[in-house]
Structure 1
Amino acid sequence: MADELKRLVAARGNRKATITRMYNYIHAPDTTEENVEEVEEKYFDIMAYFSKYIDGDGGPSSSSQESSFHLPRIQIKSFNGQVGDYQSFISLFISVIGKDKKLNDCEKLYYLKTYLEGEALDLIKHLPLTATSYVNALNLLKQRYDNKKQVINHHINLLLDMPGMTKTTAVGLRNLVSLTKQHIGALQSLGAPTEHWSLIVIAILQRKIDQYTLRAFHIEKQSNDDLPKLDDFLLFLEQRASALEIVGSSLPKPGYSIEKSMWDAYVRGLLKG
């Protein structure tokens, strides 16, 4: 107990000395423009440092996180300028930091800069640490990245660029379905008329799957009159993935022990059974 008390007293002395040096530095008579900017940077660095001891960790706390329960700290992922990530980043940043009443706008700008990388940081890094600069920074980011048309194009390109499959695997099929739903959902939330895109998206996906999965789909949908729907195609891929997971390594390899026509019949039986 005595050793712990000595350690705490020593730690208090170190903190007090740090605060004293900070106070003396800030109140030094040299107030050139360069030194003022340097003082501002050092001030916010020190504020961030001491917030670890005030809040119990390395980031600002929000009122939404003040609870009798020990909830895990919300982690904000850095934003590097990818337009598809902007909305989720800025929404979380505003919720956790922007609405924190314990922080002034200078501090919010400091934290905003720490969560930006690359092109996004270059856009605002030269703004001085002032209250008005925080608002200006948010506006600059909004003007650059809150572009509905650009975000729609971003998700369409990601759909087109999804990796193709050379062989049938349950993991590959589920990843393809998951990515498709993710981008279609994002496009729907942006107001894109995805309900009319079934044939186009199916055509894209048919170029991504292996030939045996594609053949099995066309055999199952033997009617040439009914146009396939995207939901039906994705359901087929999910069912095929489930069948592959059930049979596992016992699934025969096409072209070896079973003729291709027998292979298709085998897969259809799995899907229907």
Structure 2
Amino acid sequence: MAELSYFVEDFYEKVEELFIDYRTRLREDLKKCSSCLTASSSAIPSASNINATCEVRLPQISLPKCNGSYEKWQPFFDLFSSLIHNNSNLSPVQKLHYLKSCLQGEAHNVLQNLPITDANYSEAWLQLIRRYNNKRFNVNEVLKRLFAQRALHNESSTLIKDLLNTTSSCLKCLENMNISTASWDAIINFVVVSKLDTESKRMWELEVSRKEGICVVLVMF
């Protein structure tokens, strides 16, 4: 047995040395792979980063304009208050700069001589509120627009749509100023129908009569 090449050439020791050598190399390679995987995983964006990157960028909201018209004051007041006046990240001088950049016509003249400083913003805002945030004046302007709509002389679907849109807009403005219009159906019907052209009025009356007739038949049965 001792004469076998396995023992003579010490084959076992040689294999063991190779095994230890390869095992050591394998461990070193595994460490390198592990470090590479860690580096690459850190380069992969997390779910939160992906969500942040893929977040939809909404279009920038343009600041409203105010020209001194009472009917346009309320939309301006609401939007400017939300975007600028109540924004704690802006300084008073920044707010005043934005405010003056939004003013046109008569409203611009109200503040044109007021320097843009921190101390002047509160006074400028109060001046505009005293001038334009008058509920009685604003309601009067809306009612003027509602009742002074131009009468239609010819059939026109476009003009009828404009009539209805203006009427709806006026009613919405009144509701925003806490003026209840829930019981105004008869008044609004009269105003709108009175503005229609002759043929549209005739067709309206026929339609109303037809529906009332159907209602009467239903009641009878």
TM-score, with structure 1 as normaliser: 0.53
Distance 2:111 2:136 in 1: 23
Aligned to 2:117, which of 121, 130, 150? Answer: 130
Mind listing any 5+ residue stretches in structure 2 that lack a counterpart? Answer: 1-53, 214-221
Larger Cα-atom Rg: 2
The secondary structure found in structure 2 opposite 1:167 is coil
- Whether the 8 Å CA contact 2:143–2:170 is kept in 1: the answer is yes
- Whether the 8 Å CA contact 2:152–2:159 is kept in 1: the answer is yes
Deviates more, 1:182-191 or 1:110-119: 182-191
2:83 maps to a residue whose letter is V
Aligned to 1:152, which of 119, 139, 148? Answer: 139
- Whether the 8 Å CA contact 2:64–2:80 is kept in 1: the answer is no
1:152 maps to a residue whose letter is V
Aligned to 1:93: 80
Q: Is 1:70 aligned to residue 82 of structure 2?
A: no
2:76 maps to a residue whose letter is F
Q: Percent identity?
A: 27
Distance 2:166 2:206 in 1: 25
Shift of 1:90: 2.2
Q: Is 1:170 aligned to residue 157 of structure 2?
A: yes
Q: Is 1:108 aligned to residue 95 of structure 2?
A: yes
Shift of 1:207: 2.3
Deviates more, 1:171-180 or 1:197-206: 197-206
Shift of 1:98: 2.7
Aligned to 1:118: 105
Mind listing any 5+ residue stretches in structure 1 that lack a counterpart? Answer: 1-66, 227-273
The secondary structure found in structure 1 opposite 2:209 is coil
TM-score, with structure 2 as normaliser: 0.65
Deviates more, 1:193-202 or 1:207-216: 193-202
Aligned to 1:222, which of 209, 212, 220? Answer: 209
1:215 maps to a residue whose letter is R
Report the RMSD for the aligned CA atoms in angstroms. Answer: 2.3
